[in-house]
Structure 1
Amino acid sequence: MAQVQWEPDGVPIRQGVHLEWSRSAVADGAGGLIVTWSDCRLGDRDLFVQLFDENGDAQWDSGGVAVCTVTGRQEDPVIVTDGAGGGIIAWVDFRGGVEDVYAQRVDSDGQIVWAPEGVPLCTASAIQTGLRTTNDGSGGMIVAWQDFRDDASGDLYAQRVLGNGTIAPGWDPDGRPVTAEDGPQEAPSIDADELGGAIVAWADQRAGSNGWDIYGQRIRADGSAAWTIDGEPICDYLNDQEEPRLVRDSEHGVFVVWRDRRNASNGDIYGQRVDSTCTRLWDPDGLPICTESHGQEKPRVINDGASGAITIWIDHRSGSFQEDVYAQRLSGAGDLLWKVAGPDSLQGVPVCQAEGRQLEARLVSDGLAGTVVGWQDERNGSQNQDIYIQRMDSLGTPAWQLDGIPICDTTGAQGQPLLEPLGSGMTAIVWGDERDGSLAIYAEKVDLNGVTQWTEDGIQVHGGPAGNALYPSLVEGADRGALICWEDWRLGFAGARIYAQYVDTSGVTHWTKDGMPVCPDGTGSQTFPASAQSGDNGMVAAWVDRRSADKQIYAQRVDDTGSLLWGAAGVAVAPTSDDQEDVRIVNIGGSAFVCVWSDLRNGSFDVYGQLLDAVGTPQWGGGGVSVTSAPAEDERPYGVIEDMTGGVLVAWDGGTWDNHNVYLQRLDSGGTVHPGWPPEGVIVCEAAGNQENAQIVSDLAGGALLVWEDLRGSDLDLYAPHVDSSGEIQWKVPGPDSLDGIPVVQEVNDQSDPSIVSDGAGGFVVVWQDFRNGGDYEIYGQWIDHTGAAQWDPGGVPIVSASESQSNPFVTGDSGDSMVVLWEDHRGGVWSDIYAQAVTDFGTGLWGPEGLGICVAAMDQSDPIGIGDALRGAIVLWQDMRASGKTELHDLYAQRLIESGVLVLDQGDLKEGANEVSLAQSFPNPFTHSAAIAYTVPYETGDGGSRGSGGAGARVSLRVYNIQGQLVKTLVEARQVPGRYRVEWDGRDDRENKLAAGVYFLRLEVGTESLNRKMILVR
């Protein structure tokens, strides 16, 4: 039996917020702004919303009101006003496995109004995506989207939901088709018709090879089509018309603008006005708004409040790599109202012509027949984008500083602005901001004079860490918890940093949420960390550091409180002017640490080492010591272990590109080659073919045990040697390769990716992924004892029996008589999960033939590692992609496993010395959470119990008594066959009440024999 101790699917060690800004906000009608977004603070992607009042103060829950947090991604929210100070939000929802459409209403107090999990607007088969919305004028919403239920190229559908959360009369449960014509229809734009319905325009390729056209449809309040079924052409001229945008004209029709390629492949801007019957009111083939050379794209349009419209676009007339913002005002009759001097007087007026690119332009009305325009500006560099705005008055004259005024020009990139009119001449600007490395949302308010009303550079709407957490390393920490460090990309373009966290045996993290930086004063990237225990319940982390032109190895010591002991910048291990990579580290006793790495100082990568003392001072010279130096060959370390006498053993990869070999060297405490070892190291294996991916553990006597992938044959096999403390290879096979390791497994096809753990007696247990069945990978294992003899079945034993592929195994001891094996498991389908198995020293799985599911959350979980927690269990860590969606996102999760119930360690053929009743001292003692109790039922018992495992066995009881002699817990009351057993006690009585701290007594009765032990429970 096994117990998963923490939350199902693990606890977050580092869970990024991974905010996505979909540019959706709406005025609340009282001078405030409602903003909605999606983030992953809870694991997978969920929706949140926040109201900011006229002063920029958040009014609802800290961090925003949760709109929807059901399992499965919710993303791409869009919001409209509900007409009562709240909003209606629609989004793309993955709870059913593919994209559906759901909605929710939040009132002016931030209360969720409809069903807690949202209202389904469309759950039809296939994908629904690309939502566009408008309010219906009656407190409800109309939403249009691209739909793939009947056409793989995409149709358009729409739905109307009322303010009470019900589908409007006349509309279908999964929406009404706007167009289901052949060929793709995409890029819908929508606005209300002010009669309870809406008008939609889109790009349409029903004409096939004749190109894209602009079509439209008016949908009545009851969902019926007011125009021709499947839409009316708004412009179907030659070549492509694309990127349509529309706005209502206040007479139940719309103004439409689009990018048009009739004259040139790089595009112009055209427009049209259609009335409520789709009659074209301007030039039948569209009004040319801008046909200037070099191309125009991405038009936007608003109603100017004076019977006309204002449009903006991105313009390339200043050069192919120069993108500016231009604008034009159109009368209701289709006249171009804004002019400039010169021959191109009617080709639009410049809003911004600053150096660099101006992108992602948006506009709103200024309430005075002009417009406020905002954009993402690269005048200060493409990686230091800023947010600028400009007001164009009713005559097309810039009202503010030429080329705009900065709303936010702080460090980092700011982009994707959204503008929303707040009334009284005020405009809100909301944008995505990476000033701290990870994407956050910021907002600002400006008046008609361009004066900002809130905090300089904006107020934060929401933020948190993004980027990936990679390459974790963990060691045992205080109180049997785990210390974890990893490579973290939350700072974005500033580069990766090494972060760390401590998690205790209850699953509680103790340092800064989502980790603390171990080198906060470093610059450039810090990558590929390795770690070792520091001897004081802390750890030392080492990494590859890019603060200088050459990659160097740095290190930091962190104590059990999270304090940095070697300065905020860390220490350079062995500074040189050449690259250093592939760091490994080990504690050699007390507060001394040896790092090894590959070093380019001699023209090819060689292995070097350095000893750091308790304060981080190098002890083996400023540049470290050479472990090996083979001319013109790259050598990279596999691992480093202590030799039990203050020195280390280093294993590395060497040889030519097609003949990699495994080497080993022993260094004493002074960094010199240990007496008797060759200066160039021991050639552990130089058989033909490549030997790679070696794993190393101590033989507990100054030597080393290794396992590697071996290609001396036609398939990958696993081989192993024992190199003793004098450098002699002890395990040999007959023949010319006698010193090249013994075969661990040589089955057909590949055996690869070994993981190894010491058996505590001079041997090891190894697990690997195995392709012997030729169909998918399975996990196998083998125990090799101190003589090199296999203890389990020849060829290994299967660790798990399950469908699909199991791969990437890891093994760790659990401090008892079994090992915990972890792996990636694909039995659930396309995504990988994390599974585990406890394996006894007989090669038997304790957690069922299929193993134990540790994490079966959405998306991939991969690369499990773990440590035994000295409490008959293990703490498991993995990379977790549950937040992934549009991109793959890596976070870190952990879980603690303990064995629970009565575990049969072995039965039948008991080992020598097991022929009498025994009761081991409980472990640990004293204990706080759980204690393990091991006992033996022998062959012969006083009640006539039979020998061997085939008879009735002996009557066994195991009870706990308090200091008054009162029975408080019965752990075992059964007849058991001869064998060794183990049971856990969690400090609770038979009624599951927690017992008080104090002294308790164990009493084991086997037949007529009895034994007692004292236990101490502390709280």
Structure 2
Amino acid sequence: MYKKLIPPVALALGLLAITAAVALSWSVVDPTTGAGPDFMVSLPLNDQADPSVAYNPDDDQYLVVWRDDRGNDADIYGQILSSGGIPQGNNFVIAGATNEQSDPHVAYNSTDHNYMVVWRDKRDGANYDAYGQVISYTGVLSGSNFAINTDGGDQKPSDLIYDPNANHYLTVWVDAGDDRVEGQLLSPAGGLIGSNAFTVTNAGGDRPRAAYNSNRHSYVVVYEQGDDIYGQAVAGDGSLSGSAFPVCNDSAEQATLDLEFNSTTHEYLVVWRDKRNGNWDLYGQRIDEDGNPQGIEIVICDDSANQYGPEVAYNSRVNQWLVAWVDHRNLSAGGVDIYGQRVKNDGSLATQGNFSIYDGPNDQSSVALAARPTTTGAEYLAVWEDRRSDDGLEVIGQRIGASRGTINWHDFNVSAPLENQICPYVAYNSTDQQFLVVWQDERGDGTDIYAQIVLTTGIPISDNIVVQDMGSHQLVQPAASYSPISNTYLVVWHDQDDGDIDERVINADGTLGSVHSVSISGTQPAVAYNSTANEYLIVFAGPATGDKDINGRRVAADGAFVGTVFTISVNAADQSLPQVDYNATDDEYLVVWSDERTDQGDIYGRRVGADETLLGSGDFLIASGADAQGAPSVAWNEDVNEYLVVWHDYRDSGVTGADIYGHRVAADGSLLEDEIALCTASEHQQYPRARYIPAYGRYFVVWQDNR
């Protein structure tokens, strides 16, 4: 027998889209269930911005790095992602010194099988300096942060390129003190190659970018010179090859550039934003290894709105470039978006034309690209900073098919909170057609209760809400319900340190009411809303330690208590894991729980009147199969006035592990027909949650599955 009784993971986001299917606007929803793709709900606080990304072909993975403001100052964070966009481990801190660290750039070292990151750093409190860090392919820091250049004035690295032939790096920046573009070769461990940085141009220059030439084992650095774009060839040893050359010196302004080398045709594509038509458009120019123009300039995007911040990556598998940028064409309707354009090796544009990488709500900006030139499934990964929550910035990623520019899978969060976020519970707001998701969060000193308001499209519309933070206290087992009359939520949880049950009202806009203690000793809370009285019933197991009984307390929609704690079930053995739903037809509740009065666990229930009266002849047995039954859930069916109770069941644990069973229960507590084996797959299926969806006329049951 395998018995595992822990606080149940509450109704997770698998039902989120189903609950309000009529309000969904995802373009990729399941036509049967209405469920859209998964998305991250627990988000780091403050801003995550300025992303950069590098592809690791040895492990078929990416490292994304960014500036992160979740601490007191801006720091540098990173995240390893599989090629499918799945996080490998957690976000990790790359640089967290005092003052600001920002604008990171990352490159992969195919010889030593690791990464290097460089950034601008203000740890000395005066000027920006150039710093770096070596990171293993698993995301472990190798050594400590190292200084690259700490000369007077500001040094702000704007690119980092790896040379596999010499097994070293080139980083470039503008030295504000001397008003020139400089470069520095770095050893694989971050040591300086040469006693000083070398000068790329001493005639001003801004925003330098570099690309590696795999044919000559050299580089080209391009930069803004006044209102024009210039370039300079640089040998592998850091010496300059020839003189600076113009890439574009049209009489209008050109700015914000990037370039990438085509290893098949041995050409570069330089891209920039250009104001020759009055607004900012995107242009490009192919140049050979010496900087000579190849063909005419390329109009990448001349939409009537403005385009900014172009980035370019080359994918050798399809012998094409992808240019991505920040696009204002939908500014008045929905904000700033991320667009792309594939450019063929001859400089012609792919017939797909400009395409949207992401055009969701609010603003997206600061896009970065990496190419994945695999034999099958060649792709790009675009990452950008995103304000879709209309609050802080987050780092979002999107996979893009290399051959046709398809949007592969859906966009996903890269920046995430540290530590664990577990035990989610969701309540639906039928007035505003949005959800409140609550969970227990370990990002702080103890375990806290957090929440997030989410649209039915899966878009967060606020920053994460700190519902309660008691320092080192362990706040666990959150649950929530919604009052459509008051347009407010009630969140309940258990404080393990104080041993009590607490509750708090959250308004629809995310503002918080006061915290109230429901019981001085209790655990495992659940809550249901009474639409007749506009109040809630909170049920819980208590006391917090020792054998537990099932108790309840009524709470008004504003969080005030209605009466005192009352007992629902008392027995010498343990009663635990209660759940409750409200029957609006009969103005009563059905409370169900796991009960050990006769063996290791059965499922019992009790009808409770809205006035706290215990109805019927007493507790009634719902399930008592061989071995243990536990972790029940209950859903009321308003169409036929009956309930569905579901639980995990160990009667066949020696054969299939824990299974999911259910039983229909009449409004008077009598059992209807036979038990239902909902899932008897191999391994364990546990902690089910049930909801009745009137729009579909059916129940939906979800569970944790280990098959």
Q: State yes or no: 1:509 paired with 2:522.
A: no
Q: State yes or no: 1:131 paired with 2:158.
A: yes
Report the 3-state secondary structure (helix = DSSP H, G, I; strand = E; otherwise coil) of the residue aligned with 2:527. Answer: coil
Label 1:232 to 1:429 Cα distance change in 2 as closer, same or farther (>3 A).
closer
Q: Deviations over 1:649-696 (max 9, x none)?
A: xxxxxxxxxxxxxxxxxxxxxxxxxxxxxxxxxxxxxxxxxxxxxxxx
1:165 partner letter: G
Deviation at 1:179, TM superposition (A): 3.3
The match for 2:199 is 177
CA contact (8 A) 1:553 1:572 kept: no
Aligned ranges for residues 963-978 of structure 1 at < 5 Å?
none
Label 1:429 to 1:518 Cα distance change in 2 as closer, same or farther (>3 A).
same
Q: State yes or no: 1:76 paired with 2:29.
A: no
Q: Deviations over 1:443-474 (max 9, x none)?
A: 76869689999xx65777552289xxxxxxxx
The match for 1:424 is 375
Higher share of residues assigned strand: 2
Give the alignment's Cα RMSD to 1 decimal.
5.7
The match for 2:129 is 100
Label 1:447 to 1:522 Cα distance change in 2 as closer, same or farther (>3 A).
farther
Which residue, 270, 286, 303 being the options, matches 1:273?
A: 286
The match for 1:157 is 182
Label 1:73 to 1:304 Cα distance change in 2 as closer, same or farther (>3 A).
closer
2:199 partner letter: P
Rounded to whole Å, the distance in 2 between the matches of 1:180 and 1:572 is 77
CA contact (8 A) 2:75 2:102 kept: yes
The match for 2:275 is 261
CA contact (8 A) 2:368 2:382 kept: yes
The match for 2:508 is 546
Which residue, 18, 23, 27 being the options, matches 2:55?
A: 27
The match for 2:233 is 218
CA contact (8 A) 1:566 1:615 kept: no
Rounded to whole Å, the distance in 2 between the matches of 1:111 and 1:485 is 27
1:510 partner letter: Q
CA contact (8 A) 2:313 2:371 kept: no
The match for 2:191 is 166
CA contact (8 A) 1:99 1:127 kept: yes
Q: State yes or no: 1:464 paired with 2:417.
A: yes
1:80 partner letter: A
The match for 1:37 is 65
Aligned ranges for residues 148-547 of structure 1 at < 5 Å?
148-151=176-179, 155-169=180-194, 172=196, 175-182=197-204, 185-194=205-214, 195-205=216-226, 212-228=227-243, 231-250=244-263, 254-262=268-276, 264-282=277-295, 286=297, 298-303=309-314, 310=321, 312=323, 325=339, 327=341, 329=343, 332=346, 336=348, 350-352=353-355, 358=356, 375-378=357-360, 382=361, 418-426=369-377, 427=379, 429=381, 431=383, 439=394, 457=410, 463-464=416-417, 493-494=461-462, 497=465, 499-503=467-471, 508-512=472-476, 521=482, 545-546=507-508
Rounded to whole Å, the distance in 2 between the matches of 1:441 and 1:163 is 29
Deviation at 1:487, TM superposition (A): 9.4
1:100 partner letter: D
1:239 partner letter: A
2:110 partner letter: G
Rounded to whole Å, the distance in 1 between the matches of 2:308 and 2:338 is 11
Aligned ranges for residues 614-653 of structure 1 at < 5 Å?
614=564
Aligned ranges for residues 570-719 of structure 1 at < 5 Å?
613-614=563-564
Label 1:34 to 1:294 Cα distance change in 2 as closer, same or farther (>3 A).
closer
2:54 partner letter: V
CA contact (8 A) 1:558 1:565 kept: no
2:473 partner letter: T
Label 1:542 to 1:295 Cα distance change in 2 as closer, same or farther (>3 A).
closer
The match for 2:633 is none
Q: Deviations over 1:739-762 (max 9, x none)?
A: xxxxxxxxxxxxxxxxxxxxxxxx
Deviation at 1:134, TM superposition (A): 1.5
Identity of aligned residues (%): 18
Label 1:552 to 1:49 Cα distance change in 2 as closer, same or farther (>3 A).
closer
Report the 3-state secondary structure (helix = DSSP H, G, I; strand = E; otherwise coil) of the residue aligned with 2:353. Answer: strand
Deviation at 1:421, TM superposition (A): 0.9
1:148 partner letter: A
How many residues align structurally? 465
Report the 3-state secondary structure (helix = DSSP H, G, I; strand = E; otherwise coil) of the residue aligned with 1:106. Answer: strand
The match for 1:90 is 118
Rounded to whole Å, the distance in 1 between the matches of 2:522 and 2:201 is 60
Rounded to whole Å, the distance in 2 between the matches of 1:483 and 1:316 is 42
Report the 3-state secondary structure (helix = DSSP H, G, I; strand = E; otherwise coil) of the residue aligned with 1:245. Answer: strand
Q: Deviations over 1:168-218 (max 9, x none)?
A: 23x51xx33333435xx433322113445422222232xxxxxx2112222
1:125 partner letter: G
**Larger gyration radius, structure 1 or structure 2:** 1
Deviation at 1:159, TM superposition (A): 1.9
Deviation at 1:79, TM superposition (A): 1.6
Aligned ranges for residues 32-71 of structure 1 at < 5 Å?
32-38=60-66, 39=68, 46-52=75-81, 62-63=89-90, 66-71=93-98
Higher mean C-alpha displacement, 69-78 vs 299-308: 299-308
CA contact (8 A) 2:479 2:526 kept: no
Rounded to whole Å, the distance in 2 between the matches of 1:277 and 1:554 is 69
1:499 partner letter: V
Rounded to whole Å, the distance in 2 between the matches of 1:525 and 1:94 is 46
Rounded to whole Å, the distance in 1 between the matches of 2:120 and 2:534 is 52
CA contact (8 A) 2:130 2:155 kept: yes
Segments of structure 2 that go 5 or more residues without pairing to the other structure are: 1-41, 420-444, 455-459, 536-552, 567-707
1:34 partner letter: Y
Q: Deviations over 1:564-600 (max 9, x none)?
A: 869377999999xxxxxxxxxxxxxxxx9999x9xxx
Higher RCO (CA < 8 A, seq sep 6+): 2
Rounded to whole Å, the distance in 2 between the matches of 1:566 and 1:419 is 46
CA contact (8 A) 1:23 1:418 kept: no
The match for 1:119 is 146
Higher mean C-alpha displacement, 16-25 vs 289-298: 289-298
Report the 3-state secondary structure (helix = DSSP H, G, I; strand = E; otherwise coil) of the residue aligned with 2:461. Answer: helix
Deviation at 1:226, TM superposition (A): 2.8
Label 1:120 to 1:520 Cα distance change in 2 as closer, same or farther (>3 A).
farther
CA contact (8 A) 1:31 1:422 kept: no
Report the 3-state secondary structure (helix = DSSP H, G, I; strand = E; otherwise coil) of the residue aligned with 1:265. Answer: coil
Deviation at 1:17, TM superposition (A): 5.9
Rounded to whole Å, the distance in 2 between the matches of 1:307 and 1:610 is 65
Label 1:568 to 1:176 Cα distance change in 2 as closer, same or farther (>3 A).
farther
Q: Deviations over 1:716-738 (max 9, x none)?
A: xxxxxxxxxxxxxxxxxxxxxxx
Rounded to whole Å, the distance in 2 between the matches of 1:94 and 1:302 is 30
CA contact (8 A) 1:416 1:431 kept: yes
Deviation at 1:265, TM superposition (A): 0.9
2:53 partner letter: A
Aligned ranges for residues 805-884 of structure 1 at < 5 Å?
none
2:211 partner letter: D
